[in-house]
Structure 1
Amino acid sequence: MGGAFLAAAVLARVGRRIGLPTIPLFILAGILLGPHTPGIVLVADPHELEMLSALGLVLLLFYLGLEFHLDDLKTGGRKMVVAGGAYLVLNVGAGLGFGFALGWGTSEALVLAGVLGISSSAIVTKVLVDLGRLGDPETRPILGIIVVDDIFLALYLAALQPVLSGADSLGAAVTDGGKAFGFLLVLALAARYGIRVIGKLISTRDDELLVISFLGAAVLVAGISEWFGVADAIGAFMVGLMLGNTSSGERIRKLVHPLRDAFGAIFFFAFGLSIDPGDLPTVLWPVLAAVAVTLAMNILSGIATAKVYAFGPQAAANIATTLVARGEFALILATMAAGAGLNERLSPFIAGYVLVLAVLAPLAAGRSHWLARLLPGRPEPALAPLPRTPVP
């Protein structure tokens, strides 16, 4: 664990000096020091960091929830659903078509629809943090699309699991989906009506007790979410959404920073450990084709979202490039596909596709002004960050 932290830190320091984002460097550290490359093998079994990696994902999504205010949901609900729906139609639809075009099988096409269609909440969050864009106006629709994606993903995984595992009946599949949806509904109702009670329960002047309380709540609800068939990341997000709207929200945001950064680095490092570079050449052309499809669909969805929110080309470019990342949910689908005995080319394809976009997305987001010059519409003046209104 110590070696993983230091390796990630050294590569990130070197990268920062030449202007590279930290995410692909954390992943590169995992690849170079993992079991699939020659030289020093720091972690022989990627599963040794599995719990720490899961904690990193939970904290990244918990922080995302802290930054997403309930006022954003109330004031932008309809626009958020329209923008998120357009994103899903374009990307999931293109992913399904791409999967059938490859000819690897129907189950494989359904997996690829999710792989190509769902953006990485963890990487998107890290990109927004690294670029200092959490207060920008276009960040609200970006987070809204992520929320719609995550809700869709919960239902999608619940529906896909019986298909891959060969559920005995339609009734079993419906039961699993209903259980996941019911739990999401309970979390949503708690976020909507239970803020005052939750605020009183979490409130304390002692920072040590506050850290223990919010960390325990985030991890516990994430684990319960997984038991109900909902991605653990969504449970952590909902806890962050609840706590961020309490009187302790601002203190929690400050206290979670070092935890988020440290374990977030481990999450990306562990992702790198799972990649075998030797498998990538066999799926090179499908990976490049999938990346091209994803870039095209994200540009279209960025333009569509900008029209919904009356933004200009720069905001459209920011939305398109920030959401292009694919990551943790694609890896979940890769694990499910491997367990179901699907086409053996699927796992290296997903690894290569995710790696390319994990590297490309932060670089593209930091240079989105290049894309903005090519998009239709009048260039807008620099967008001022929106002030944060403290919650009483």
Structure 2
Amino acid sequence: MGGAFVAAAVLARLGGRIGLPTIPLFILAGILLGPHTPGYVLLEDPHDLEMLSALGLVLLLFYLGLEFHMEDLRTGGRKMIVAGSLYLVLNVGAGLAFGFGLGWGTEEALVLAGVLGISSSAIVTKVLVDLGRIGNPETRPILGIIVVEDIFLALYLAALQPVLSGADGLGAMAADMAKAFGFLVALALLARFGTRVIGRLFAIKDDELLVISFLGAAVFVSGVAERFGVADAIAAFMVGLILGNTGAGERIRELVHPLRDAFAAIFFFGFGLSIDPGDLRAVVGPVLIALAITVAMNLLAGLITARVYGFGPAPTANVATTLLARGEFALILATMAAAAGLDARLSPFIAGYVLVLAVVAPLVAGRSHWLARILPGGPPEAARA
């Protein structure tokens, strides 16, 4: 574990000097020190980090839930829902068509729909901060699309889990889905009506006790969720949503931040350990096709969003390029697919796809003014990217 932290930190610092995001570097550290590459092997069996990786995943989604507010939907209004829904229809639909076109199987196609369809909240937010675009007019629609994606993700994972678990027959699958959605509905009702009671339970002055309490809640509910067929990650998201709307929400966000960063690094590192670089050669073609589809769908989604909000070329280009990145959600789906024993090509495909986009997307977003020059209405406004 110490070696994993040190390797991830060293590579991330080196990458930071040239402006690369941390997620692909954490994965790369795992690949380089894993059993599938020559040289020193830190861990022969990636499963040795399985529990710590699971904790990293839980904390990632728990933090995202803390950042999510139902008010975002109310204040965003119709435009945000329209833009977010169209983005999902275009990207998830294209991902599903791509998955069926590959011919790897129906379950694999459903996984690929999510991989190609959902942006990385972590990378998108980091890009906006790093490029100083938080105050830009197009940032609110970008974050609105991320919010709609998060809601879709919760429903998508709840529906996908029973399918991947291999339920016997349609009746058993329907029962598993009903059980999973029932558990999610119970958490949603708690988020809607139980915030005041939960807030009293977490009105703890001592930071040590507060950390133990919210960690216990997130991990315990995630474990219970798995028994109901709900992905542990999405249960953690719901717990974060509930606690984020209590009086202790702001303190919890501050306290969980370093824990999230540390164990998320282990999650990405652990995923890298499981990747055999030799397998990437077999999926180079599908990865390149998927990249072309993602770029095309994001450009189209950016143009539609611009039409909805009345944006010019520069904001349109920013929307199209900022949402390109894929990251943590794709890796969550890769983890679920591996656990379900799906096609072995999925993991190297997702790894290659995420690595390329996680590196390229921030670089492209920083040069969105090049795209703005060739969009309708071009150069005058493009200068203020």
Query: 1:64·1:125 contact (CA, 8 Å) conserved in 2?
Result: no
> Partner residue of 2:60?
60
Q: How many angstroms does 1:273 deviate by?
A: 1.3
Deviations along 1:290-316, whole A, 9 cap, x unmatched? 111011112222333344344554444
Q: Measured at CA, do residues 226 and 360 of structure 1 come closer, stay the same or move farther in structure 2, by a change above 3 Å? A: farther
- Report what 1:74 is aligned to: 74
Q: Please report how far the alpha carbon of residue 196 of structure 1 lies from its aligned counterpart in structure 2 after TM superposition.
A: 1.9
Distance 1:167 1:256, change over 3 A: closer
1:290 is matched with 290
Tell me the residue number matched to 1:180.
180
SS at match of 1:204: coil
- Percent sequence identity is 80
Equivalent residue letter for 2:53: S
Q: Mark the CA change 1:266 to 1:346 in structure 2 (over 3 Å): closer, same or farther.
A: closer
Provide the TM-score with structure 1 as the length reference.
0.85
Matches of 1:149 and 1:76, distance apart in 2: 14
| 1:130 Cα deviation after fit | 6.0
Counterpart-to-counterpart distance in 1, 2:235 and 2:143: 16
Aligned AA for 2:236?
Answer: A
Which runs of no fewer than 5 residues in structure 1 stay unpaired? 384-392
Instruction: Tell me the alpha carbon deviations over residues 17-41 of structure 1, each in whole angstroms, 9 at most, x when there is no partner.
Output: 2222222221211111111111111
Given that 2:59 and 2:264 are in contact with CA atoms closer than 8 Å, whether structure 1 keeps it comes out as yes
AA in 2 matched with 1:280:
L
1:133-212 alignment, distance < 5 Å:
138-160=138-160, 167-212=167-212
Check whether the contact 2:275–2:347 (CA below 8 A) recurs between aligned residues.
no
Task: Give the superposed CA RMSD.
Answer: 3.0
Aligned pairs for 1:1-392 within 5 A: 1-76=1-76, 78-121=78-121, 123-124=123-124, 127=127, 138-160=138-160, 167-334=167-334, 337=337, 343-376=343-376, 379=381
The whole-number CA distance in structure 1 between the counterparts of 2:318 and 2:184 is 30
Shift of residue 230 of structure 1?
A: 2.8
8 Å Cα contact 2:157-2:234 kept in structure 1? no
Deviation at 1:289, TM superposition (A): 0.8
Are 1:21 and 1:363, in contact at CA under 8 Å, matched by a contact in 2?
no
Change (3 A) 1:205 1:370: farther
The 2-side partners of 1:88 and 1:154 are apart by 14
* Larger displacement relative to structure 2 (211-220 or 79-88): 79-88
Call closer, same or farther: CA 1:373–1:208 in 2, change over 3 Å.
farther
Q: Which amino acid aligns with 1:351?
A: A
TM-aligned CA distance change 1:196 to 1:273, over 3 Å: same
Would you say the 8 A contact 2:324–2:357 is kept in 1? yes
Between the aligned partners of 2:63 and 2:338, the Cα distance in structure 1 is: 31
How far 1:331 sits from its partner (Å)? Answer: 4.0
Q: In the alignment, what sits opposite 1:388?
A: none
CA positional deviation for 1:4: 0.8
Q: CA deviation at 1:253?
A: 2.0
What letter matches 2:259 in structure 1?
Answer: L
Distance 2:16 2:233 in 1: 28
Larger displacement relative to structure 2 (217-226 or 134-143) = 134-143
Check 1:160–1:237 CA distance in 2 against 1; reply closer, same or farther (3 A cut): closer
My pick for the range that moved more, 234-243 or 106-115, is 106-115
Can you list the C-alpha shifts for 1:59-97, whole angstroms capped at 9, x where unaligned?
222222222223212222544432332122111211122
1:194-228 CA distances to partner (integer Å, 9 max, x unpaired)? Answer: 22222211112211112112222222223333333
Shift of 1:382: 7.5
The 10-residue stretch of structure 1 (369-378 or 272-281) with the greater mean CA deviation from structure 2: 369-378
- Residue type of the alignment partner of 1:6: V
Q: Give the distance between the partners of 1:161 and 1:233, measured in 2 at CA.
A: 11
Q: Which of 271-280 and 296-305 deviates more?
A: 296-305
The answer as to whether partners of 1:57 and 1:122 remain within 8 angstroms in 2 is: no
Instruction: Using structure 2 for the length normalisation, give the TM-score.
Output: 0.86
More deviation, 55-64/23-32: 55-64
